[in-house]
Amino acid sequence: MKKTLERFALNGKRALVTGSTQGIGLAIARGLAESGASVILNGRSSEKLSAAHRELSAEGHTVESLAFDVTNPNSIKAALASLTESGKHIDILINNAGIQRRAPLLEMTLADWQAVIDTNLTSAFLVSQAVAPSMIERKSGKIVNVCSLMSELARPTIANYSAAKGGLKMLTRSMCAEWAKNNIQINGLAPGYIETEMTKSLVQDEKFDSWIRGRTPSGRWGCVEDLVGATIFLSSPASNYVNGHLLVVDGGLSAVV
Ligand code: GCO
């Protein structure tokens, strides 16, 4: 039993979680830390970053913070250079940063389209491109791209988000195609409808809430903790022969009509 559980241990590993000051990112960061990893938090707001840092540190975890803009190559480069200068490398990269800007397609502005594509898709390209060389050099690494149920299914008013998350699924497979030979495992995590700040307005919408509870075989919204086990699996030696895979955590929603 003990040997099997050790496959999920992350002791001695350093994980960077983008967009980890709240919601899914913070829950994933906490789960990685509880599994033994030292965690680097990231976010745009230094206030939220400090608060998340204090929260996880108070729980006894080894936490660092890197405030950089995941859509800005220079910001990413400067942040990672500061890590390298202190002799640190990233073993596990969780590309989680994501926003939502809902609008009917005919009314969607280019700004709302571009902001979602930049934050939810291009960021994973930029941060992974900056982190991968060190993983390739060390012939070891884990990249988890936080995709979505919307990587596979669409609904009205979220074309930007669905296009980004669909692209992220294929970027995951493309990373697998080019980097897996270096003992790097790149996989996608696809959350279903999870209660977070991003979905708060949907949860509070009685009609939408009722539809989700009826449409989801598990009969409930997911919570951020529902995603931690799958992320630990994809970040640990337990998944060393899993690559290019999209691990769906959606209460069964995408399995049924
Ligand atoms: C929406 C939601 C979804 C969820 C989640 C589902 O407007 O339908 O925001 O996009 O955020 O991504 O997997």
Query: How do residues 219-244 score in pLDDT, each as one tens digit?
Result: 999 999 999 999 999 999 999 999 99
**Could you tell me the pLDDT band of residue 165, with boundaries at 50, 70 and 90?**
very high
Residue at 140 is within a domain:
yes
Residue at 143 is within a domain:
yes
Number of domains in the chain: 1
Say whether pLDDT at 2 is over 80.
Answer: no
Residue at 254 is within a domain:
no
Question: pLDDT value at position 225?
Answer: 98
Apex 163 CA angle, 158 and 164, nearest 5? 100
- Please indicate whether residue 161 is annotated as part of the active site: yes
The mean-pLDDT minimum among 1-15, 94-108, 169-183, 186-200 falls in 1-15
Q: What is the DSSP letter of 135?
A: H
Question: pLDDT value at position 1?
Answer: 63
Q: Which of 120, 109, 110 is nearest to 145 (CA)?
A: 120
Q: What is the overall mean pLDDT for the chain? A: 97
Dihedrals phi, psi of 232, to nearest 5 degrees: -60, -45
Residue at 45 is within a domain:
yes
149 CA to middle of ligand 1, Å? 8
| 52-110 pLDDT tens trace | 999 999 999 999 999 999 999 999 999 999 999 999 999 999 999 999 999 999 999 99
Residue at 63 is within a domain:
yes
Residue 9 CB-density burial (10 A; 0-12 exposed, 13-18 middle, 19+ buried)? middle
Say whether pLDDT at 174 is over 90.
Answer: yes
User: CA–CA separation, 132 vs 139, rounded Å?
Assistant: 10
Sheet holding 246-249, edge to edge: 63-66, 38-42, 14-17, 92-95, 141-146, 184-191, 246-249
Dihedrals phi, psi of 191, to nearest 5 degrees: -70, 145
Q: CB of 221 closer than 6 A to ligand 1?
A: no
Question: Which tokens in the block code for residue 180?
Answer: 């897996």
Residue at 221 is within a domain:
yes
Which amino acid residue places its CA nearest to atom 4 of ligand 1? 193
Residue at 133 is within a domain:
yes
Say whether pLDDT at 250 is over 70.
Answer: yes
Residue range 159-187: average pLDDT? 99
CA 175 → CA 168, 216, 245, distances in Å?
A: 10, 31, 11
Question: Which tokens in the block code for residue 121?
Answer: 């898709």
- b vs e for 217-246, b when ≥16 Cβ sit within 10 Å of the residue's Cβ? eeeebbebebbbebbbbbbbebbeeebbbb
Question: pLDDT value at position 24?
Answer: 98
Residue type, 7: R
Mutate to test the pocket of ligand 1, among 196, 202, 203, 207 (most ligand atoms within 8 A of CB): 202
Supply the CATH number for residue 225's domain.
Answer: 3.40.50.720
| Domain ranges, residue 172 | 4-249
| 57-66 pLDDT tens trace | 999 999 999 9
Residue 174 CB-density burial (10 A; 0-12 exposed, 13-18 middle, 19+ buried)? middle
70 neighbors 18 (Cβ within 8 angstroms): yes
Of 68, 113, 161, 221, which residue is the catalytic one?
161
Q: CB of 191 closer than 6 A to ligand 1?
A: yes
**Could you tell me the pLDDT band of residue 137, with boundaries at 50, 70 and 90?**
very high
Residue at 256 is within a domain:
no
Which amino acid residue places its CA nearest to atom 2 of ligand 1? 199
